[in-house]
Each structure stands twice: as C-alpha cells, then as structure tokens.
Amino acid sequence: MKFGQVDNPEPIDFTIPRDHPDTAQALKAPSSDELEIRIGCAKWNKADLKNFYPRGTKDELAYYSTQFNSIELNATFYRLFPAATFENWRAATPDDFRFFPKLEQTISHFRRLKDVAEVVERNVANMSHLGEKLAMPFLQMRDDFAPKDFDRVATFAENWTYDAPLAMEFRHTNWYNDPAVSSKLYDLLEAHGITNVLVDTAGRRDLMHMRLTTPTAFVRWVGANDAESDRARLDDWVERIAKWKRAGLQRLYFFVHQNEEQESPALAAHFIERLNKKLRTAVPIPQTLKPKELF
C-alpha cells in the first residue's frame, strides 16, 4: 500500500490524536464483555509476503487462514470476481475466517458513486457467495472525491440495504477539516449504521479523524518500513483500543499494510501479541519464518 508513503518517516509526528468528542456516544451501544477481534493483512499472495509461507506451500489462502482470522480483500477493488471464485475462497478457509472485500473501483473511482446501483448489486451478489464469511465490505473513495458530491454519498448510503454492514473511507481532506462538512458526514454514517474507516499512514495525518460512527473500529494501518517507529505506533494503538473497549467497543477490524508488504505478518504478530497481553485475549499469533525456512 503506497498511499501516504514518505521517504523519511523520522520527522513525522505519529501521535494518535484525541478521540473526536462524539466517538464516546458511538460507543455507548449495548455491549457484552466479548470484543470481536479481526486482524489481518491486505493480501495473501507469497510474492508480497515473502517471509511468511513455509517452503512448498501451494495453497496460499489455505495456509494464510491458519495464521490469521481475516483478510482485507483488496483484489476485489480491481475487478469483479465471479461467484465461483468467492465460493472457492469460502471453501478454502476455516469456519471462523472472515473476508472484508473492497468494493470495485468502478463504483468509487470511475463512476464516483453516480449511477452505480447495478454495479453495486453485482458486487454484493457475487460477494454474498462467501456466505457467513462475508464480514464487512468497504468502499474507499478517490483522493479528489470532495464534499461537493455529498448528495451522492447520501444516495449511496440510503440505497445500501444489504444484510452485510458497510464501511466507508474518505480521503479528501475537506471531509474532515471543515466542521460543518464533517458533522454532516458523520451524522449520515451514523444514521445508516455505516462504519467510518480510520487510516493511519505517515504522509496523511489529516485522515486521523478519530471519529467512530458505530461500535466498530475499522482501522487500515500503514507502516513506514521503519522497524522501531512502526512497532511503537502499534503499541500506541493497543492503548487506544483498550480505552475504546472500556467505553463499549464491540468489534475491532484492524488491517496491517506496509509499503513493502513482506513485513506485514511480523508487524501483525507484534500487534496481536501486545493486544492479547493488554486485553487478556487469545487471538492466535501468526508465525513468521526464519530465513532458511522461507519459500
């Protein structure tokens, strides 16, 4: 994930901002003591995750799903896969595994939410073949998709009547920097039960709005390929998530990206280990391999 990449992360202030004042209200929904935790990478192909697959691994997804309980499925952004492919992915993974597919770029980038009902219907129809393993599809808008097209967002939100809950990510800075605009957006998302995606990446600190619109935290975290600062940043997220859990967080969907993806499993393992210790949870920790074991 190249989004927000910088040449030198050292000058960046990676401090997680304070929560938006209304996040507390979003977390007040009735909750149980159990927090659903899904942590994964964005891809499963071994061309990217080079320090992950044991020698001789043939079915990458099958192995990946023994190590992680979820995947942020970015491949679906680039093309609509046939229903049979989703059925195969469902069959290859354990019962408790979950998919978080990104809606097709035709919807978000080419048509920019205009006249997309039929395309959305095809996306959801095919994704539905994941069955109970379809968790939360998400929509990521273009960087230049601005608040002037708010009406398109409203129409899209109103027309999302599918069983699968939706998450949305906005990248134009004016969605967050103009209080009148951001308030209107957050109210819309809350009204329709749509989760507001948080993006933590070095070059776009303006996207750290820290505004949850449902009791779900959907975080797309991007490392800066700096071992020390990346792990420190993840440790800070553990503290914030613990705070949210005490306030009523029900679901955590946290996906680890890197500009060089081969480090993603190791960073995810670090994060899960620290989160388990802090929350006293037992999320399985993925195994990373020694150099001589690499595929």
Spatial distance between the Cα atoms of 52 and 14, rounded to a whole number of angstroms: 27
Q: Looking at residue 76, what DSSP letter applies?
A: G
Spatial distance between the Cα atoms of 68 and 263, rounded to a whole number of angstroms: 15
Residue 295 in this model has a pLDDT that exceeds 80? no
Residue 291 in this model has a pLDDT that exceeds 50? no
Q: How far is CA 43 from the centre of its chain?
A: 12
pLDDT at 262: 74
Q: What average pLDDT does the chain have?
A: 93
pLDDT at 289: 65
Percent pLDDT > 90 in the chain is 83
- Per-residue confidence at 4, pLDDT binned at 50, 70, 90? low
Residue 15 in this model has a pLDDT that exceeds 60? yes
8 Å CB contact between 252 and 36:
yes
- pLDDT: is 225 or 149 the higher one? 149
Spatial distance between the Cα atoms of 263 and 130, rounded to a whole number of angstroms: 28
What is the rounded average pLDDT of the residues 24-41? 85
Lowest average pLDDT, out of 42-51, 54-63, 235-244, 270-279, goes to 42-51
pLDDT digits (tens, 9 = 90+) for 85-110: 999 999 999 999 999 999 999 999 99
Buried b / exposed e over 15-32, threshold 16 CB at 10 Å, is eeeebbeebeebbeeeee
pLDDT at 11: 87
Tell which residue, 17, 35, 3, 5, has the closest CA to residue 236.
17
Cα–Cα distances (Å) from 133 to 26, 83, 87, 89, 91, in that order, read 25, 14, 10, 9, 10
pLDDT at 19: 98
pLDDT at 55: 87
pTM metric for this prediction: 0.95
pLDDT digits (tens, 9 = 90+) for 203-246: 999 999 999 999 999 999 999 988 889 999 999 999 999 999 99
pLDDT digits (tens, 9 = 90+) for 166-216: 999 999 999 999 999 999 999 999 999 999 999 999 999 999 999 999 999
What is the rounded average pLDDT of the residues 65-72? 97
- Per-residue confidence at 271, pLDDT binned at 50, 70, 90? very high
Lowest average pLDDT, out of 143-147, 263-267, 269-273, goes to 263-267
